């Protein structure tokens, strides 16, 4: 199901992320991780969205983009899901690079929620059932966020 939002501030972008996380926490576990692919230009609001998303998961730690370390792991307490992985593929040149970090094992863990910024860089190995969320920079404060449901990439 496609949903579209226009946010006019970073706090509105965070609220959308927080609400989405709370929706996901109500979902039953699948056989694999719940994977979210975030697409969009630099400054589109992906990390801001994930700050709210993490808050919705009950994570108290500060969420920053893991551009240089590529991946951060956070515990989710009190829900069926146990771990939130925040992955940033901005510096990934080839999809295989993410596999070296144990990506396959992470996405096969049913108690994991995995958010992948710059998911278009690993589209060939992104799970087919990943939830895709697109971000568009409109102006200094305004962003368009589009939740596209499950999207299978075709090139």
pLDDT of residue 150: 52
Query: Nearest CA to 117 among 96, 99, 91?
Result: 91
Q: Is 18 helix (H, G, I), strand (E, B) or coil?
A: helix
- Give the pLDDT mean for 23-30: 90
Q: Write out the DSSP string of 101-145.
A: TTHHHHHT-TTEEEEEETGGGGTTTS-TTPEEEEEEE-SSS-EEE
Over the stretch 38-97, which tens digit does the pLDDT of each residue have? 999 888 899 999 999 999 999 988 887 766 668 899 999 888 899 999 999 988 888 888
Angle between helices 46-56 and 10-25 in degrees, nearest 10: 50
Per-residue pLDDT at 7 exceeds 50: yes
Residue-level pLDDT at 66: 63
- pTM of the entire structure? 0.88
Asked if 74 contacts 54 with a C-beta cutoff of 8 angstroms, the reply is yes
Domain ranges for the chain? 3-150
Classified by CATH at the fold level, domain 3-150 comes out as Rossmann fold (3.40.50)
């Amino acid at each position: 199901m496609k949903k579209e939002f226009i946010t006019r501030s970073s706090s509105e972008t965070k609220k959308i992320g927080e609400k989405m996380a709370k929706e996901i926490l109500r979902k039953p576990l699948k056989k694999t991780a719940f994977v979210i692919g975030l697409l969009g230009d630099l400054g589109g609001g992906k990390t801001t969205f994930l700050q709210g998303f993490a808050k919705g998961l009950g994570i108290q730690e500060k969420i920053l983009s893991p551009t240089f370390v590529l991946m951060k792991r956070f515990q989710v307490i009190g829900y069926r899901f146990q771990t939130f992985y925040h992955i940033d593929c901005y510096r990934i040149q080839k999809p295989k690079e993410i596999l070296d970090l144990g990506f396959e094992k992470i996405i096969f863990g049913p108690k994991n929620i995995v958010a992948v910024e710059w998911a278009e860089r690993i589209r060939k190995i992104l799970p087919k059932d990943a939830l895709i969320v697109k971000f568009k920079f409109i102006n200094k404060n305004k962003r368009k966020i589009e939740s596209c449901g499950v999207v299978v990439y075709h090139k």
